[in-house]
Amino acid sequence: MNPTACLLVIGNEILSGRTQDVNVQYIARRLSETGITLSEVRIIPDIRAVIVRNVTEARAAYDNVFTTGGIGPTHDDITSACVAESFGVPWVHHSETFSLLEAHFAPGEFNAARQRMATMPQGATPIRNAVSVAPGFTMGNVHVMAGVPRIMRAMFEEVLPTLPHGTPVTSQAWHANGLYEGTLAAPLEAIQERYPAIDIGSYPYRLDESQRGVCLLCKGTDTQAVSDAASAVRDLITGLGFAPLPGEPAKS
Amino acid sequence: MNPTACLLVIGNEILSGRTQDVNVQYIARRLSETGITLSEVRIIPDIRAVIVRNVTEARAAYDNVFTTGGIGPTHDDITSACVAESFGVPWVHHSETFSLLEAHFAPGEFNAARQRMATMPQGATPIRNAVSVAPGFTMGNVHVMAGVPRIMRAMFEEVLPTLPHGTPVTSQAWHANGLYEGTLAAPLEAIQERYPAIDIGSYPYRLDESQRGVCLLCKGTDTQAVSDAASAVRDLITGLGFAPLPGEPAKS
């Protein structure tokens, strides 16, 4: 059984539609490659009680919790204090991080707001990274990262190698132009039943007005079973009188 | 108090990183314009027990629940049956939808898999739309929609006018090149305290290697207060010796 993870995306800017999230897909792909199952993503607002409740629920339910957003210097950056509250520990200056930030800023610039970025739950370990001086941090099984994608990625790639990995998920896809889901549903289900450990997804696509089809994706941690299921899928497409094409269809 | 909403994004393809979700932003924007508060988004896998639990939790906690994904004809399309289970009602053929679909398909093509798309929780109302013959449906306060963005949008736009609206959220933004969050955090917090009903967000941006800055966004349902808070934000930028620019920065 692979380790599990939950991602908490913290930020009003996603829930209002101002910002198109791109962190979910990045984290999802990297976890999948690492054999950690992303079981759930929650996008929640910058409200203290909501963040605390979700961190508390998620860290009990999953092996790993990642959070993105809310760790800057402004009043709407409350993730760090919320994580402290969830763990029932004080929110305190992290002296090493404090010194690091102090050295970074020009004299007089290291004001109270910036000092806030050196404040962490007691017992947290900073996530240093090459992109931002202000670190994220790990507290227990909770990994607190920035929301800005460039910084999030740098932090995530620092944390990921330190976590227990599972068996990477591999996948094989076949697609066929002109084939509809409704045509293949019954025999596809039979293949799914034959390979219960493989996750077979059926995704209709539409390249343009006239070109449509369906992509069948076999995913799992057992490479041989993935390959066998994919062969069965390919044969199914052929048997229905369509031309199986390897991989995903080219993006429209 | 505006009505609330929760969006359940149902699909392994989002959690595996195969697919970049674009439905969240669309729904978030339209709800915001309509005065319905999107309080939470959950992205969950195609697992029956998980879907049922989340539908049950969400429909109790929020005025409106939207789901995307899992209503096609294949074995991985289980949303509809899960909603029936959450409401404790049978999952039955909807005769009007059955006839509609039957008429749509060529003789012999309306197989068991396609008949499945005419199956709904007892008491559900179909969400007909101009894009797909197979409808979504509304059951209680739960609105079940397709995952394919084009179809989801058509269904969503059918449902939205039927829901109780609130006061639309309006926003005003100012941004300034060269300004950092750490510089303005304290006076910005003072503005936030003066306008507690306005949500003031601070978003750093980076147009290229040399052009950075911060965007300050004032949002709320009270247009006058949004305008006043935005004026205060503009004056704050000026007072710090930077040039306030209206709106959001141009995308890098």
DSSP letters for A198-210: SEEEEEEEESSSS
Residue with tokens 């199986």: A244
CB atoms within 10 A of CB A246: 10
pLDDT given for residue B30 in this prediction:
97
Say if A188 is an interface residue toward chain B (CB within 8 Å): yes
Average pLDDT, chain A: 95
Say if B240 is an interface residue toward chain A (CB within 8 Å): no
Closest residue by Cα to residue B151 from A51, A24, A225, A212: A212
Say if A57 is an interface residue toward chain B (CB within 8 Å): no
* H-helix or E-strand spanning residue A182: helix A181-194
pLDDT(A76) > 60: yes
CA B173 to chain centre: 22
Per-residue pLDDT reduced to its tens digit, B97-114? 999 999 999 988 999 999
Whether B113 sits inside 8 A of A182 (CB atoms) is: yes
pLDDT(A227) > 60: yes
From chain B, the residues in CB contact with A31 under 8 A are: 17
pLDDT given for residue B252 in this prediction:
47
Per-residue pLDDT reduced to its tens digit, B49-98? 999 999 999 999 999 999 999 999 999 999 999 999 999 999 999 999 99
Closest residue by Cα to residue A118 from A130, A136, A131: A136
Per-residue pLDDT reduced to its tens digit, A3-31? 999 999 999 999 999 999 999 999 999 99
Return the residue of A nearest to B214 by Cα.
A74
* Local confidence band at A252 (pLDDT 50, 70, 90 cut-offs): very low
Q: What angle do CA A31, A32, A36 make, to 5 degrees?
A: 60
ipTM above 0.90, yes or no: yes
Say if B208 is an interface residue toward chain A (CB within 8 Å): no
Say if A92 is an interface residue toward chain B (CB within 8 Å): no
Return the residue of A nearest to B110 by Cα.
A182
In CATH, the architecture of B4-162 is 3-Layer(aba) Sandwich (3.40)
Say if B98 is an interface residue toward chain A (CB within 8 Å): no
CB atoms within 10 A of CB B223: 13
DSSP state of B177: E
* Local confidence band at A169 (pLDDT 50, 70, 90 cut-offs): very high
pLDDT given for residue A110 in this prediction:
94
Query: Under a CB-based contact definition with an 8 Å cutoff, are residues A148 and A14 in contact?
Result: no
From chain B, the residues in CB contact with A29 under 8 A are: 16-17
Specify the range with the lowest mean pLDDT, choosing from A34-48, A154-168, A238-252, B113-127.
A238-252
**Fold of the domain spanning B170-246:** Alpha-Beta Plaits (3.30.70)
Say if A76 is an interface residue toward chain B (CB within 8 Å): yes
Closest residue by Cα to residue B185 from A134, A151, A115: A115
Tokens of A94: 């992290």
pLDDT(A67) > 90: yes
Query: Under a CB-based contact definition with an 8 Å cutoff, are residues B165 and B35 in contact?
Result: yes
**Ranges of each domain in chain A:** 4-162, 170-246
From chain B, the residues in CB contact with A114 under 8 A are: 182, 185
Low-confidence ranges of chain B (pLDDT < 70): 251-252
From chain A, the residues in CB contact with B9 under 8 A are: 41
* Local confidence band at A207 (pLDDT 50, 70, 90 cut-offs): confident
Query: Under a CB-based contact definition with an 8 Å cutoff, are residues B8 and B24 in contact?
Result: no
Say if A118 is an interface residue toward chain B (CB within 8 Å): no
From chain B, the residues in CB contact with A113 under 8 A are: 181-182, 185-186
pLDDT given for residue A208 in this prediction:
84
pLDDT given for residue B250 in this prediction:
84
Q: φ and ψ at B229, to 5 degrees?
A: -65, -40
* Local confidence band at A210 (pLDDT 50, 70, 90 cut-offs): confident
DSSP state of B163: S
Q: What angle do CA A156, A61, A143 make, to 5 degrees?
A: 20
The shortest C-alpha distance from A9 to chain B (Å) reads: 9
Query: Under a CB-based contact definition with an 8 Å cutoff, are residues A13 and A19 in contact?
Result: yes
Taking the C-alpha atoms of residue A165 and residue A163, their distance in angstroms, rounded to an integer, is: 6
Say if B161 is an interface residue toward chain A (CB within 8 Å): no
Taking the C-alpha atoms of residue B88 and residue B182, their distance in angstroms, rounded to an integer, is: 53
Q: Which of A38, A185, A203 sits opposite B15 (nearest CB)?
A: A38
pLDDT given for residue B27 in this prediction:
98
Q: Which residues contact A205 (CB under 8 A, 6 or more apart)?
A: A175, A212, A213, A214, A215, A249, A252
